[in-house]
Amino acid sequence: MDKFRMIFQFFQSNQESFMNGICGIMALASTQMYSAFDFNCPCLPHYNMVYGLGILLVPPFILFLLGFVLNNNISMLAEEWRRPQGQRGKDPAVLRYMFCSMAQRAMIAPAVWVSVTLLDGKCITCAFCTSVPVETLGNASHPLLSQGEVQRVLAQIPCKEIYNGQELIANEVAVRYLRCISQALGWCFVLLMTTLAFLVRSLRPCFSQAAFLKSRYWSHYIDIERKLFDETCAEHARSFAKICIQQFFEGMSTDLVAARCHLPRKTSEDAGEASKKLLGITDRGTMNMALKSWHRCKPPLHLHPPALPSGNGWAGAEQPPVHPSTPRRETAAYYSLV
């Protein structure tokens, strides 16, 4: 039980570890989905290929989109891409890093699905059963079958219970031939994905280590800034609601006094603490203006003392540099009476 708790805490340590855990769960789920999937080839010409390739390619596309949907950074990326310029410029390298990171994680589950499907061989057997070389593996000189009938017989290869073309080609031979090709493609796909992952992980920092570190740092900064802003807004909303409720009940005190009810002595410590958390924003219009200003004109990424408010009250106006005053030089003259 402690091991599972440690693993769960590791996944919750940061956003990247959490998303790695989600991608791993999706990869395991894709294998379970395929094992529970009831594969039924139609065994009809022109339908087998559509069904086989559809099972091979459509679920990976759905899993790829699902990987983007489950990634919390997709909304952060869209917000950063579409926000106004304001006082903070946009770095295309950071946006590319965020998108590539999400795409790499979203491709894990589709890659697992394609690998398992190719190694199993049912989809390739169903899709390309009509392309079996009868001249090499069977009896191509069958006198009683036309070309269309041969295609119809070959389309029944995945359906062993209704296959009646043993005189043309043995069912076991055709299935084994197609499954060997499918497994070869599957292992090549696994090797290709492994090689690409190795190259991306190992060679990318070697060529642009400084740019990579910069993009990763500011990507993490955007994520942390968004979390802190949400926490600050939630804390402000809690304090706002607390004071609003207290003012409501204080307004009802007049009726209670008129009814000669003895009111308990109220403490102002909680109200004072909640008022400090409001940060001077005490009405709905001001809060809406602050949120709109945060979206339109985020503060620049350099720390400095707070500037005096400009005309709009939110964006700090650029002040002329203040030069230290030069001390005045005093000259003393001494006169002699001699």
What are the pLDDT digits (tens) for 256-271? 666 555 545 455 566 6
What parts of the chain have a pLDDT lower than 70?
Answer: 1-18, 140-144, 205, 253-272, 274, 304-338
Distances (CA, A) of 51 to 42, 56, 116, 229: 8, 9, 17, 49
How far apart are the C-alpha atoms of 99 and 68, rounded to whole Å? Answer: 10
pLDDT at 49: 93
pLDDT at 7: 57
- Contact of 30 with 140, CB cutoff 8 Å: no
pLDDT at 30: 86
pLDDT at 324: 47
pLDDT at 268: 55
Helices (H), 138-208: 147-154, 171-207
pLDDT at 328: 47
pLDDT at 315: 45
Rounded to 5°, angle at Cα 165 from 162 and 167: 145
pLDDT at 270: 60
Among 65, 191, 206, smallest CA distance to 119 is for: 191
pLDDT at 319: 46
